[in-house]
Structure 1
């Protein structure tokens, strides 16, 4: 029995969950899997690579509402999708209701996306220290006003709005149950919960029991679970023990876009499993390089951006240090192909060595918050001024 099973009292795990398509407003996703936005990762190139591997809803990188309203070129690029990308899903981060509403209207009125997600889960200090991200639901009225503004702006265009959040700021300041109920009453189409607080960052194990509790309270709209989905088995296990309607996959797919093919196979009852040998991995890396080159319209920039993915792709595979360092310094597609062809491409899938934790786990840390933020659930004039600074960046952490 897993820790999550022990925590969720009374829920049976004897049978596999009934896995149904995910419906969010007027959008139906055959496989209830969502790609979480990750800054610098989930650009159009990576999303296409994931779509080529399996079904799901693929959300673009988070973009700030202020940057959209100011027509920042980088922000506009983030919400510019390939012609054949459907459904198109954008995530917006904002702290001012009027600015969030204006940004959502831009996306909706210009036909830039079919679905809009609002981020209330970012734990990055540069965001929380100004009261944004995972810190924001603590201010109930502000949270509600942002939801209302987004829904009002999107409704005329029949675009569903969803939210992604964390459990709260820390163990003594949890907000997720209250926030989920507020969201449901406001008309939000679905809620996603990462089973950690901002203080936990990505440390320890995600608290799946919190997802089960949210599902028990929020019953009229889909509840999605997020946190520690490293394999298809993890996704099915989360749905089984929590009763959630779908899963949100983040770091688990870094260097493993084929995870979506594995998820689709498991969730549609197929016995086929996706366990690529090094030759298939090398082909995927090269395809990623081609897509990055097209995305940037610059081979050098595309290859440089691809470098950070190499350690994730090669995790567990028999690739020596010199080869790994060489791939982390590739300068062109030709260089990439030559270095990939020099690997032992007959090496099989290495099993559990290629799975599990990806990226830095980190340790719990005291959240960076505006002075006096936790003293009241209401927003002071001082905090309102600080919130305006939280949107200065184009994308989130």
Structure 2
């Protein structure tokens, strides 16, 4: 395991009044970053843990599913929510509801989703092309938080494709409208999650704005985060797929960012991984009840055991478990001393897909402004 040491401890990352000792943000992922997973990650190391994305329309209309996602652990010191919307008025009202009624401490706006059913209606990663509308949305969001001392940030991609880049304009608009920071995923919507993230674009954005810039894309290990900061000058990193089945990555990141001495960092054995798996299932069961919690945990099994020699029978049975007693028995069949498979280090996790043409509304690229987009572009499909 290679390590890259920073020359000195970094200053805390400031997002308005929020001070993050470790400049690391957990990216919202649908069906993953619920209250149980956020608590698990927070037990590993410091950072900002953002809940699953909710839609502004769902929140304003009191949708039961949207409201159920606004669940926070007792010890969740900073309540961070990612919001998505396409209508300035609705966004402003949603932000005010989050501040007034739910006591949130941070609101992030997502403009990075590359999913065709969203972009073909002008939403997600397609929306920043309409710079006027983006500005009105961000202005409304910042206005909705006025008086609550709650910072508003945004996340975006490089652009629609390499011929239609929007990240520099988005950065300028974010700064001009009063956003506390901007996060950039160094891929275009056309790339989805394929290929390599363009870290140079993160550095270019950092050089062009006066607000903090967070880098996102291909942070699989703590060394990747250090390398991104060193090469781009960005103020922090956003971690998404890299922590799937590896919540201890946040402990590694906290150690790496907190000191120039990286000797304390080490890889977990299979027995230690099993302990984290048990804790994850326990937290899900506490939140959802044991049967549903164990069912929800099944999706995480393959991520946790990726690269280990765990037998196919154990893997298969873990994929159908329904109780913590059953989980304990199955985890007991694993070899606790098996070392972490180092060949998995630095390798992509989760979805990747392949490059594809971005689905857009007719004549979308003809102009940079529009008054409104299709209401169906506001959907709870998350991504960035």
- Shorter-chain TM range is over 0.9
Question: Does the 8 Å contact 2:124/2:377 carry over to 1?
Answer: no
1:235, 1:17 → 2: CA distance?
Answer: 15
**Where do residues 69-218 of structure 1 align in structure 2 (5 Å cutoff)?**
69-218=60-209
Q: Tell me what 1:300 maps to.
A: 291
Match status 1:390 vs 2:377: yes
1:234 aligns with 2:221: no
SS in 1 for 2:191: coil
2:5 touches 2:256 (CA, 8 Å); kept in 1? no
Cα distance in structure 1, aligned partners of 2:380 and 2:114 = 16
Distance 2:35 2:324 in 1: 18
Q: Does 1:263 align with 2:253?
A: yes
Q: 1:169 to 1:17 in 2, by over 3 A?
A: farther
Separation in structure 1 between the aligned mates of residue 113 and residue 103 of structure 2, nearest angstrom: 23
CA RMSD of aligned residues (A): 1.6
Change (3 A) 1:326 1:75: same
Deviation per CA, 1:307-358, whole angstroms, max 9, x where unpaired? Answer: 1111110111121222111111111111111111111122122223355210
1:249/1:17 Cα in 2 relative to 1: closer, same or farther (>3 Å)? farther
Give a deviation string over 1:221-243, Cα, whole Å, max 9, x none: 11000000000000000000000
Q: Which segments of 5 or more consecutive residues in structure 1 lack a partner in the other structure? A: 1-12
Deviation of the 1:303 alpha carbon: 1.0
Query: Secondary structure of 2:110's partner?
Result: strand
Question: 3-state DSSP class of the match of 1:155?
Answer: coil
Unaligned runs of 5+ in 2: none
User: 2:330 matched to which residue of 1?
Assistant: 339
Distance 2:235 2:138 in 1: 22
Find the residue that maps to 2:81 and give its secondary structure: strand
Q: Kindly tell me: are residues 239 and 335 of structure 1, through their superposed partners in 2, closer, same or farther at Cα, counting changes over 3 Å?
A: same
Q: How does 1:42-81 map to 2 (within 5 A)?
A: 42-81=33-72
TM-score (norm 1): 0.92
Which residue does the alignment assign to 2:239?
A: 249
Structure 2 residue matching 1:329: 3-state secondary structure: coil
Alignment of 1:316-355 (within 5 A): 316-353=307-344, 355=346
Deviation string, structure 1 residues 133-187 (Cα, Å, up to 9, x no partner): 1111100110000000000010111100000100011111100001101111111
Contact map agreement 2:36 2:280 (CA 8 A) in 1: yes
CA contact (8 A) 1:33 1:246 kept: yes
Q: 1-side partners of 2:200 and 2:346: how far apart?
A: 23
Q: Residues 230 and 356 of structure 1 are in contact (CA less than 8 Å); yes or no, is this contact kept in structure 2?
A: yes
1:376 correspondence with 2:367: yes
Q: Which string of whole-angstrom CA distances, capped at 9 and with x for unpartnered residues, describes residues 243-280 of structure 1?
A: 00000000000000000000011111142114110111
3-state SS of paired residue (2:343) = helix
Moved more, 46-55 or 324-333: 324-333
Conserved 8 A contact 1:317-1:354 = no
Whether contact under 8 Å (1:75, 1:395) holds in the other structure is: no
Kept in 2, the 8 Å contact 1:74–1:394? The answer is no
CA drift of 1:19 comes to 2.5
Secondary structure at 1:92 match in 2 = strand
Tell me the number of residue pairs that the alignment of Structure 1 and Structure 2 aligns: 378
Q: How far apart in 2 are the matches of 1:300 and 1:126?
A: 33
| Alpha-carbon separation, structure 1, partners of 2:130 and 2:60 | 24
- DSSP 3-state at the match of 2:160: coil
1:96, CA displacement in angstroms?
A: 0.3
